[in-house]
Chains A and B, each alone.
Chain A
């Protein structure tokens, strides 16, 4: 298709590089430097999609981040990305885009029938229409809404692109490279400050790219180019384009998304697609400019109606005419600038100015160019369905209430200007209480909350001279505060045309008997009538009106609609706008991809993976791994095509029959030293610690202050003032913090140091009746007999020349030892144990067998110590000292904790001795009882007892001590199981604990 709307000699695009692309399956071409929007407009394409609610045709309204409706589904390098603004997305070779929110096609859309059923879709239609009958919601209403509404489709594929995060610090962060941003960046950088200048567009310069001004002896655009070139070369300046500062958080932390590769057909090797910057700035300059406001009239959403500033940008930046018979509808001088550009490029525009008799240099220039100007005129309604074909216009009375005779004029686009709205989002996010400026009918930042300064149009300053002067000064003052330097640069002479006051009028009344829709929010289809209904129905707070009508809630967050909505509410309510107030600005300022927010923390990078020194050995020996916190632990070592059940049973059996070895490196380890170490242990554990001899270990239970069990483990006295504490894998970090808290805050008088040694020691638990024979062979010089190294004994020795710690402790309930060596020697130790253990039929065992062994022994672990149980519940009341005080003791006196029928851990065996009981099953008396069936307890852990070869579970059950022998029902509605069971002792195997002491 030919580019009928492209001009020859104007624009900043690169005409040497043609780019072909596809929109809705059709081939087009544009140039390097085009956006999808400018390229489609050059091809005369105005119909881009359908609106959210009524599926009305949608074209282009803006030319950048403010665009409310020209969004597409983008296809790039095999990925599909929803809701891309065509006004921002740069063209690349092979780009493909499709319309969103239309079915079956953009030209024939079934949802447009909503437009004729609009009676069903007024303000609050979700709340009203789809309320009842309730049963309809799920099957009828929701699928209907989902099909008919919604924009792009999120990809369900894994995103192959790379995103990264970056932290940066600077003296000044400057958000926008228009005149105020450039001037403040330049004067601050020249004064030695470290500056970051962020521009969300590909091109720097902001309004200087399109305005007819002179700075010094250069045009505005040349001046901008030169300043940027100079800034880029300065070592203290970071200049970034395609970078949007979208959030302003506490303590001057701002977040910026940098689009590195979105404008390329494919992300370059070793480069991320997008980068998220966390920037901590000493001072922030908000130079985000302003966005033109729409004027509101009938069918003002018709494709071809657009902002006059957008029309000017398409012309001056892209060399594209948005129409050849433009109608300019304005209440201020900005519309004239657009008209003049049309005229200079051979197009005859007509200006409708709502003002009666305004006078200014710009208006004079338009008059001198013989542009047809109609004062006190308005557009009443745009005509045409998929594109503007003409407009009904009329003279308007001085009080702006009466319309004169309606005339129809031919036009192919209507460029509107309702004056300017400062972009105050970042200032507001920083906590700045904005104030209403009556002169410009808009909010501007008030007193700075954090170290932020708003300059230029964002601050409501619309003349270039004043903007540059303030910005040069601010850049100098702000940098001086930080650098103490005093290099002030001289201020250039500015030539610009003076403009005059705008008209406060913005919403054209309806002619008598007409019900044209006049839209405020173009993306969410919120019309003037919707806000009127909301107010009639009693909504007053602007936040409520927003939610009820969905005004400003679309992906553009109301950049073009908010202020007109406010003005409407204030008009109807007879209030002034500042009394109505504005809705809260929240980050992000503009949509940010989830990939950027997540950064590198995806998949296995979402958290660290910790591996024991023996990990490679486990891998080589077919270990199937399981996540244990951030650790990877062998779950079982697969032989042949063994299942988890078969493999873990084999391993557990071998421990009971011969000997097994388990990697216990992941256990938390804390080294405790100091003269008061015993006293600390005595206060944090429930049992007594003052008399533990050197060379002995003891099992201990820790409580929180509220009496709930926090953790358990063994601690060994290595020497007089030196202890080695172990914690569960999961609680290791918490326990260290817990100890540090008591040592630093509560009992600073205790002379103790604690440090984590989890990663310093590799551990192997050697368990089973033959473990002693094996350990004796490993340490021939040490007496490891029951007399030489009794249960809970500790000794140090040499394992083939390597220093080792040997603990006689047991988690499996068997005769067992735990050997620790320095991590670097872990694998060596492991291989030696396996090698020497061969003659004793050693097998490594994983966490599943470990669980089986502890469950059938009735040893409580994480599934019982779940943050809801006290020592009694776990049958650990024997561990609680009556004589001394300790953390959490006072809480154990609570009535509920002392109740006669307090819950307690018990064993559970299915009556058929065959059916495994799912963990989480509830224990009830009667499976058929009326609901809700009273729950007596729950299954906390289940295993297949290798000792008795039948299923066995642990449960925590009310009045546990009196439940032994009872027959109950275990119910698992999730697994659809009802299993008759018997309650037995939790110590199913070796109830007297003879094996560990043998």
Chain B
């Protein structure tokens, strides 16, 4: 079980959190004309990389904030956690 530092609450066990996917994915702006390919990439295409991964988690059994976690997908090492509006 991972030990994750919520940027708002501090160190907590993984069972208080929910995983939320790749944090680098940007939703296309509303009302913007985009190609099928662009939209398809946004909806379906995710890197499944080995190594450092910036991802979203939500502290569902805590402050309910979504935040960013930089984690090694192979070793589970967590390098950094950031608030939603912070960049690495």
Residues of chain A with a CB closer than 8 A to B45's CB = none
The interface bits of chain A over 216-250 (1 if a CB of B lies within 8 angstroms of the residue's CB, else 0) are 00000000000000000000000000000000011
Residues of chain A with a CB closer than 8 A to B78's CB = 251
Q: Does A121 contact B (CB under 8 A)?
A: no
Q: Does A280 contact B (CB under 8 A)?
A: yes
Q: Does A706 contact B (CB under 8 A)?
A: yes
B79 to chain A, nearest CB (A): 13
Interface residues of A in 858-903 (CB under 8 A from B): 884-886, 890-891, 893
Contacts A740-B58, A740-B66, A890-B39 known; A748 to B30 CB distance under 8 Å?
A: no
Q: Does B20 contact A (CB under 8 A)?
A: yes
For the complex, what is the distance from the CA of A431 to the CA of B77, rounded to whole Å? 11
Cβ B43 vs Cβ A885 within 8 A: no
Contacts A740-B66, A741-B20, A885-B30 known; A249 to B1 CB distance under 8 Å?
A: yes
For the complex, what is the distance from the CA of A746 to the CA of B42, rounded to whole Å? 13
Can you name 16 extra interface pairs (CB under 8 A) apart from A249-B1, A737-B18, A745-B84?
A: A167-B13, A250-B76, A252-B3, A253-B3, A705-B27, A706-B44, A740-B58, A740-B66, A741-B66, A744-B84, A746-B27, A884-B31, A886-B30, A890-B34, A890-B39, A893-B36
B80 to chain A, nearest CB (A): 14
Cβ B1 vs Cβ A431 within 8 A: no
The contact sample of 17 A-B pairs, CB cut-off 8 A, is A250-B3, A251-B2, A251-B76, A280-B13, A431-B75, A705-B27, A705-B42, A737-B18, A740-B64, A741-B20, A741-B66, A745-B84, A746-B27, A885-B30, A885-B31, A891-B39, A891-B43
For the complex, what is the distance from the CA of A167 to the CA of B3, rounded to whole Å? 13
Contacts A250-B2, A431-B75, A744-B84 known; A737 to B13 CB distance under 8 Å?
A: no
Q: Does A75 contact B (CB under 8 A)?
A: no
The interface bits of chain A over 248-265 (1 if a CB of B lies within 8 angstroms of the residue's CB, else 0) are 011111000000000000
Residues of chain A with a CB closer than 8 A to B42's CB = 705
Residues of chain B with a CB closer than 8 A to A280's CB = 3, 13
The interface bits of chain B over 1-32 (1 if a CB of A lies within 8 angstroms of the residue's CB, else 0) are 11100000000010000101000000110110
Task: Specify which of A251, A431, A737, A886 is in contact with B3 (CB 8 Å cutoff).
Answer: A251
Residue ID in chain B nearest A890 by CB atoms: B39
Residue ID in chain A nearest B34 by CB atoms: A890
Residues of chain B with a CB closer than 8 A to A737's CB = 18, 58, 60
B26 to chain A, nearest CB (A): 9
Q: Does B56 contact A (CB under 8 A)?
A: yes
Residues of chain A with a CB closer than 8 A to B30's CB = 683, 885-886
For the complex, what is the distance from the CA of A250 to the CA of B71, rounded to whole Å? 12
Q: Which 3 A-B pairs have the closest CB atoms?
A: A251-B3, A885-B30, A250-B76
For the complex, what is the distance from the CA of A706 to the CA of B44, rounded to whole Å? 8
Residues of chain B with a CB closer than 8 A to A431's CB = 75
Residue ID in chain B nearest A894 by CB atoms: B36
Name the residue in B30, B31, B58 with the highest tally of chain A Cβ atoms < 10 Å from its Cβ. B30
For the complex, what is the distance from the CA of A431 to the CA of B72, rounded to whole Å? 14
For the complex, what is the distance from the CA of A515 to the CA of B64, rounded to whole Å? 69
Residue ID in chain A nearest B67 by CB atoms: A744
Interface residues of A in 698-757 (CB under 8 A from B): 705-706, 737, 740-741, 744-746, 748
For the complex, what is the distance from the CA of A893 to the CA of B44, rounded to whole Å? 15
Residues of chain A with a CB closer than 8 A to B2's CB = 250-251
Q: Does A516 contact B (CB under 8 A)?
A: no
Interface residues of B in 38-88 (CB under 8 A from A): 39, 42-44, 56, 58, 60, 64-66, 75-76, 78, 84-85
A127 to chain B, nearest CB (A): 32
Contacts A705-B42, A741-B20, A748-B85 known; A251 to B1 CB distance under 8 Å?
A: yes
For the complex, what is the distance from the CA of A950 to the CA of B20, rounded to whole Å? 47
For the complex, what is the distance from the CA of A706 to the CA of B39, rounded to whole Å? 10
Cβ A748 vs Cβ B84 within 8 A: yes
Q: Does A278 contact B (CB under 8 A)?
A: yes
Residues of chain A with a CB closer than 8 A to B18's CB = 737
Name the residue in A250, A252, A891 with the highest tally of chain B Cβ atoms < 10 Å from its Cβ. A250
Contacts A280-B3, A745-B56 known; A706 to B66 CB distance under 8 Å?
A: no
Cβ B43 vs Cβ A706 within 8 A: yes
A551 to chain B, nearest CB (A): 29
For the complex, what is the distance from the CA of A167 to the CA of B31, rounded to whole Å? 49
Task: Specify which of A253, A741, A886 is in contact with B1 (CB 8 Å cutoff).
Answer: A253
B48 to chain A, nearest CB (A): 18
Residue ID in chain A nearest B66 by CB atoms: A744
A768 to chain B, nearest CB (A): 40
For the complex, what is the distance from the CA of A447 to the CA of B84, rounded to whole Å? 36
For the complex, what is the distance from the CA of A740 to the CA of B66, rounded to whole Å? 8
Cβ B65 vs Cβ A744 within 8 A: yes
For the complex, what is the distance from the CA of A251 to the CA of B17, rounded to whole Å? 15
For the complex, what is the distance from the CA of A746 to the CA of B3, rounded to whole Å? 26
Residues of chain B with a CB closer than 8 A to A740's CB = 58, 64, 66
B85 to chain A, nearest CB (A): 6
For the complex, what is the distance from the CA of A173 to the CA of B76, rounded to whole Å? 21
Contacts A250-B1, A705-B42, A706-B43 known; A745 to B66 CB distance under 8 Å?
A: yes
Residue ID in chain A nearest B64 by CB atoms: A740
Residues of chain B with a CB closer than 8 A to A706's CB = 43-44
For the complex, what is the distance from the CA of A893 to the CA of B36, rounded to whole Å? 9
Residue ID in chain B nearest A755 by CB atoms: B64
For the complex, what is the distance from the CA of A683 to the CA of B27, rounded to whole Å? 13
A421 to chain B, nearest CB (A): 27
Residue ID in chain A nearest B26 by CB atoms: A746
For the complex, what is the distance from the CA of A278 to the CA of B56, rounded to whole Å? 25
For the complex, what is the distance from the CA of A744 to the CA of B20, rounded to whole Å? 13
For the complex, what is the distance from the CA of A784 to the CA of B76, rounded to whole Å? 60
Cβ B58 vs Cβ A278 within 8 A: no
Residue ID in chain B nearest A683 by CB atoms: B30
For the complex, what is the distance from the CA of A253 to the CA of B13, rounded to whole Å? 10
Residue ID in chain B nearest A682 by CB atoms: B30
Residue ID in chain B nearest A744 by CB atoms: B66
Residues of chain A with a CB closer than 8 A to B76's CB = 250-251
Interface residues of A in 670-716 (CB under 8 A from B): 683, 705-706
Residue ID in chain A nearest B83 by CB atoms: A744
Cβ A278 vs Cβ B84 within 8 A: no
For the complex, what is the distance from the CA of A250 to the CA of B74, rounded to whole Å? 11
For the complex, what is the distance from the CA of A891 to the CA of B28, rounded to whole Å? 12
Residues of chain A with a CB closer than 8 A to B31's CB = 884-885
For the complex, what is the distance from the CA of A167 to the CA of B15, rounded to whole Å? 12
Residues of chain A with a CB closer than 8 A to B60's CB = 737
A255 to chain B, nearest CB (A): 9
A251 to chain B, nearest CB (A): 4
For the complex, what is the distance from the CA of A740 to the CA of B20, rounded to whole Å? 12
A148 to chain B, nearest CB (A): 41
Residues of chain A with a CB closer than 8 A to B64's CB = 740
Residues of chain A with a CB closer than 8 A to B85's CB = 748
B5 to chain A, nearest CB (A): 11
B35 to chain A, nearest CB (A): 10
Interface residues of A in 251-300 (CB under 8 A from B): 251-253, 278, 280
For the complex, what is the distance from the CA of A890 to the CA of B42, rounded to whole Å? 11
For the complex, what is the distance from the CA of A431 to the CA of B42, rounded to whole Å? 35
Residues of chain B with a CB closer than 8 A to A746's CB = 27
Residues of chain B with a CB closer than 8 A to A249's CB = 1
B51 to chain A, nearest CB (A): 15
Name the residue in A251, A278, A748 with the highest tally of chain B Cβ atoms < 10 Å from its Cβ. A251
For the complex, what is the distance from the CA of A885 to the CA of B65, rounded to whole Å? 26
Name the residue in B13, B28, B43 with the highest tally of chain A Cβ atoms < 10 Å from its Cβ. B43
For the complex, what is the distance from the CA of A251 to the CA of B13, rounded to whole Å? 10
A584 to chain B, nearest CB (A): 15
For the complex, what is the distance from the CA of A741 to the CA of B59, rounded to whole Å? 11
For the complex, what is the distance from the CA of A748 to the CA of B86, rounded to whole Å? 12
